[in-house]
């Protein structure tokens, strides 16, 4: 019993002499702040004491790491012969036009000729980038000119064909040039009947496009009957491919 009391007394004496570690955010040294990734500054755990405690691109301000202010925001802050790029001063890209490969040197930067581009976003309204140059966009190249299908012995447009022609009409009106509507039929029926049927199909497509605002003088029709099949298969699938109106530009 006496020995136990002796050990308890020794433990109490050590605790008194060494003292208990302070409670966060209080501290006596940096080690007591490491768990939080901080340093000890005047008895308090703080994010930083100097810039060295912050990662690259940050500075220590009021014991907090904050982004460094940009070196510059305008060319004027960089002095003669230098320009401001991404917040830092850098050497000018050019002194005269000879360094700009056909472009213009303006305020130390090479400006590409107005008709050059790397993407269509570099071009003006109504233009697109082709082979590094801005050219007037051909809206017709973006239209869906796939053939309009028809049912067996039909020359009327179903709801699916009407929906697609509604989209195509807007595209045609935004483009230029004339379009020939070529009507076709499958091989069943007489040659004379199929010719008449193909003409009716082409006329139905023209009539619908004109109703949607496409100028009639930009559309012409022709019937080919069964003379230009796209499939030679004597099957329902093959005949369905041949019952169509094509757009010829």
Band of pLDDT at residue 16, cut at 50, 70 and 90: very low
How confident is the model over 107-153, as pLDDT tens digits?
888 876 666 666 666 666 666 666 666 666 555 567 889 999 999 99
Per-residue confidence (pLDDT) for residue 15, from 0 to 100 = 46
Of 157, 153, 245, which is closest to residue 199 (Cα–Cα)?
245
pLDDT digits (tens, 9 = 90+) for 161-184: 999 999 999 889 888 889 999 999
- Mean pLDDT value of segment 80-103: 84
Is the pLDDT assigned to residue 21 strictly greater than 90?
no
pLDDT in tens, 176-226: 889 999 999 999 999 999 999 999 999 999 999 999 999 999 999 999 999
Question: Which of these, 42, 228, 221, lies nearest to 241 by C-alpha position?
Answer: 228
Question: pLDDT category, 1, cuts 50, 70, 90?
Answer: very low
Q: Is this structure's pTM higher than 0.75? A: no
Residue with more model confidence, 6 or 163: 163
**Residue 124's pLDDT is what?**
63
- Predicted local distance difference test score (pLDDT) of residue 125: 61
- Average pLDDT in the chain: 84
Count, residues in the chain: 249
pLDDT level of residue 239 (50, 70, 90 thresholds): very high
């Amino acid at each position: 019993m006496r020995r136990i009391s002796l050990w308890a007394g020794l433990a109490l004496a050590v605790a008194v002499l060494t003292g208990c570690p302070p409670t966060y955010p209080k501290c006596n040294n940096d080690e007591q702040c490491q768990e939080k990734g901080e340093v000890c500054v005047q008895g308090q755990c703080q994010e930083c004491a100097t810039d060295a405690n912050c990662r690259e691109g940050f500075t220590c301000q009021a014991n907090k790491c904050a982004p460094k202010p940009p070196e510059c925001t305008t060319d004027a802050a960089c002095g003669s012969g230098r320009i401001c790029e991404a917040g830092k001063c850098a050497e000018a890209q050019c002194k005269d036009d000879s360094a700009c490969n056909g472009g213009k040197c303006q305020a130390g930067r090479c400006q590409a000729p107005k008709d050059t581009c790397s993407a269509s976003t570099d071009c003006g309204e109504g233009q697109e980038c082709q082979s590094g140059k801005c050219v007037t966009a051909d809206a017709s190249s973006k239209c869906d000119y796939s053939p309009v299908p028809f049912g067996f012995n039909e020359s009327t447009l179903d709801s699916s064909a009407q929906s697609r022609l509604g989209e195509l009409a807007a595209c045609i009106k935004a483009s230029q040039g004339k379009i020939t509507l070529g009507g076709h039929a499958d091989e069943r029926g007489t040659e004379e009947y199929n010719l008449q049927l193909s003409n009716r199909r082409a006329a139905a497509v023209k009539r619908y496009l004109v109703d949607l605002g496409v100028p009639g003088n930009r559309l012409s029709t022709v019937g080919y009957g069964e003379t230009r099949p796209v499939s030679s298969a004597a099957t329902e699938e093959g005949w369905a491919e041949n019952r169509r109106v094509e757009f010829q530009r």
